[in-house]
Chain A
Amino acid sequence: MRILVVEDDIETADYICSSLGAQGHVALHAADGKDGYMQALDNDFDVMVIDRMLPRLDGLSLVKSIRIADVPTPIIILSAMGGLNDRVEGLEAGADDYLVKPFAFSELHARISALMRRPPMQSEETVMKVGDLELDLVRHSVQRAGQPITLQPREYRLLIYLMRNTGKVLTRTMLLEAVWDFHFDPQTNVVETHISRLRNKIDKPFDASLIHTVRGAGYSLHV
């Protein structure tokens, strides 16, 4: 996958690029907003990672310019400000995801992976299947190996998110944001508790586990 990294701190940029390289991606680096804009238009990327504070052209303006130029490539904004409205402003400018610095590479990687090859939204897709697990979006029903499973509303939302991102690593933060709309770090095991509840219903009564813990990164649902 081809990834554009627009970041002015050379050491951070090097780390992101080399780590992405180690994961088998091709990462190109731009050190300022203008350079980033030229590269974004000249090359075809799968994902762009853009720092919010950049010399010559700031990150938000860069994202807006890219969107005005009709480039639909998924964009992750990196914010060094941790601002309350940075996320909303980033998304409003046209970014697809948002990550606060300092971040763990695993977090960035998980988010890049979630954005890449986003399956085209098939509105007619009403039943999702992973192995013998089935979720019917219309009938709000879940069954595994033919056995119906009753889920609480939150467990249902968590399962939908996991199934939509089958095979991808979803971090704790991604789950908090997507499932519970929490944009802060809880001091208790909210995610672990809810995952464990879901496991008790989805995995425990069956032979093979579908929800996997990815050490130091997050969770992933796959066969």
Chain B
Amino acid sequence: MSRPSRFGLNRTSVRLSLQFAFLYAILSAVMFVGAYWMTDFEVRDWIEDRMKYDVGNLQQVLDTRGADALRERVALLSEFSFENERIYQLRDALGAHLTGTVIDTSQLKARSFLPVAALDLAVPTDPEVSGYWIRVDPIGPFTLVQGTGDNVIAEVMEALTIALVGGYILVISAGLFIGQFVGARTERRIGRILETLEDVSRGALARRIATPEGDRDDLSRVSSAINATLAQVQTLLESQKQIATDIAHDLRTPLQRLRQRLERMINSGDDQPDLHAALGETETLIETFKALLRIAQIESGVQHQHFVPVDLASIARDVVEIYQPVAEDEQQSLTAALPTGPVQISGDPALLGQLLSNLIENAIRHCPEGATLQVTLESGPQGPVLCVSDDGPGIPAAERDKVFRRFYRIEQSRTTEGHGLGLPLVKAICTLHGATVQLIDNAPGLRVCVTFTKGESA
């Protein structure tokens, strides 16, 4: 199973973080435009108010002190405006310049804006001022033209930009960090779920996903649901196994009695051929039940407790030696290519012997006269690989998985003897030892390979 790379885009956490960052960027931009527009509006409103107050103040100067005081006052305001933040001009009733800065209102742009370049200012202007917001008001018979530099807006916008961009960077990095953290945690939990499911698929049906107490989020609910499903599957498989075991157990006594009665009849001199045939059938029945029980017992895994260090090479040597004469009698040749030194694994020697015997017997029984059979033991990348190869009829590719089913017989071998439980037993022994069994096309013939995993069967 391929695992997502640590920072790959296929990792949910990274993808979520990036999506979040993108969404936040768009939201920030919208917010920025909105805030800019609002600020611009509000600041201008405030500037207008300030200029209105000035008009009010100057009106009072005119009303209480007279026209000369007003002229003096505007001149002072105009002369002592630091860096030209404010500009003033007083015009007479005919619109002629009286005092202050000359402001050419004919050059006014939209929204009463006058750029700095359009003015002839004596004192250097604040570099942040690009132009002035202009307001024209009557004060008695005079006209007051005043402007406020737009640097206020620039400053406010600057502050706003810093706040929004800084906030954006802060939120995105915090988001990515939290996303990574939460994501990694989620990743680990998904990893645990995957590990558990892989273990279960390898046959460890009792494995469950650990769900911490009190943790009731979506992953915990998924884990609980998977656990419940696994429990259900385990119960079903166990009851299926139990049925097989129960049937076999419960039939022991009746089968024993049946055989006894048949034996008794034969022994008492009743020598009918039917009786011998019935006894023969009983024997077959018993053999099938024995094999079924054995598979059920091996599958239960209790045999693990009886594992000892075993030398696969010596087991293979012994079993091959036992079957060589059997193969010779069938006009077949059985050879072995085994390492001279020991090949140690942890296992049940009797079951491993039976495994190899079953594979060799299958080859002998399904191959015609003159066939060549070979047993090899090699060291593979994962561990020792024990193979039985032949150049017989082989097994069609479509049937290779099915032959491990109980009682499955491929069409061409229906006539040969056997209970159809040989390969299921091989498979059960392999699973018990953490080994895998594969049927490979030997072109021609069949090659059955059992791959042991070093350390896993310990």
Contact = CB atoms under 8 A, between A and B. Distances in A.
Nearest to B300: A84
B256 A9 contact: yes
Interface string B245-284: 0001100110111011001100100000000000000000
A80 B357 contact: no
A112 to B, nearest CB: 16
Contact of A102 (B256, B326, B348, B364): B256
A187 B417 contact: yes
B364 A11 contact: no
B126 interface: no
B297 A188 contact: no
A197 interface: yes
Given A12-B260, A82-B294, A102-B255, A187 B325 contact: no
A146 B353 CA distance: 38
Given A80-B249, A187-B361, A100 B329 contact: no
Given A104-B263, A181-B353, A182-B357, A84 B294 contact: yes
20 contacts: A9-B253, A9-B256, A11-B257, A19-B267, A80-B249, A80-B253, A84-B297, A84-B298, A84-B348, A85-B306, A100-B290, A102-B255, A102-B259, A181-B353, A182-B353, A187-B422, A188-B323, A189-B326, A194-B322, A196-B329
A84 B307 CA distance: 12
Contact of B326 (A82, A153, A190): A190
Interface centre among A82, A85, A193 (most CB of B within 10 A): A82
A154 interface: yes
Given A82-B293, A82-B294, A193-B325, A184 B354 contact: yes
A15 B264 contact: yes
A12 B257 contact: yes
Nearest to B329: A193
B287 interface: yes
Interface string A1-41: 00000000101100100010010000000000000000000
A197 B325 contact: yes
Tell me whether chain A's interface is mostly helix, strand or loop, or mixed.
loop
A153 B324 CA distance: 13
A189 B287 CA distance: 16
Nearest to B289: A82
Interface residues of A, number: 36
A194 B260 contact: no
A180 B321 CA distance: 10
A102 B286 contact: yes
Contact of A104 (B259, B321, B417): B259
B350 interface: yes
Given A81-B293, A188-B326, A193-B325, 6 more contacts: A12-B256, A82-B248, A101-B252, A187-B417, A187-B422, A190-B322
A140 interface: no
A61 to B, nearest CB: 20
A181 B351 CA distance: 11
Contacts of A190: 322-323, 326
A184 B293 contact: no
Contacts of B248: 82
Interface of B: 248-249, 252-253, 255-257, 259-260, 263-264, 267, 286-287, 290, 293-294, 297-298, 303, 306, 321-323, 325-326, 329, 348, 350-351, 353-354, 357-358, 361, 364-365, 417-418, 422
A186 B319 CA distance: 12
Contact of A15 (B260, B294, B417): B260
A91 to B, nearest CB: 13
Interface string A36-58: 00000000000000000000000
B277 to A, nearest CB: 14
A124 interface: no
Contacts, number: 95
Contacts of B294: 82, 84, 184
A7 B72 CA distance: 135
Contact of A185 (B267, B287, B329): B287
A206 interface: no
Interface of A: 9, 11-12, 15, 19, 22, 80-85, 88, 100-105, 153-154, 180-190, 193-194, 196-197
A187 B365 contact: yes
A169 B207 CA distance: 51
Given A9-B253, A104-B263, A193-B325, A186 B290 contact: no
Contact of A84 (B287, B323, B351): B351
Nearest to B262: A104
Contacts of B322: 154, 180, 182, 190, 194
Contacts of B255: 102
A12 B290 contact: no
B290 A185 contact: yes
Given A100-B290, A189-B326, A193-B329, A184 B357 contact: yes
Contacts of B321: 153-154
Given A12-B260, A180-B322, A189-B329, A102 B361 contact: no
B353 A102 contact: no
Interface centre among A15, A154, A187, A197 (most CB of B within 10 A): A187
A110 to B, nearest CB: 14
Contacts of B361: 186-188
B300 to A, nearest CB: 10
Nearest to A18: B264
A171 to B, nearest CB: 13
Interface centre among A181, A182, A189, A193 (most CB of B within 10 A): A193
B406 to A, nearest CB: 16
B10 to A, nearest CB: 46
Contact of B325 (A15, A83, A85, A194): A194
B418 A101 contact: no
B403 to A, nearest CB: 15
A187 B284 CA distance: 12
Contacts of A181: 350, 353
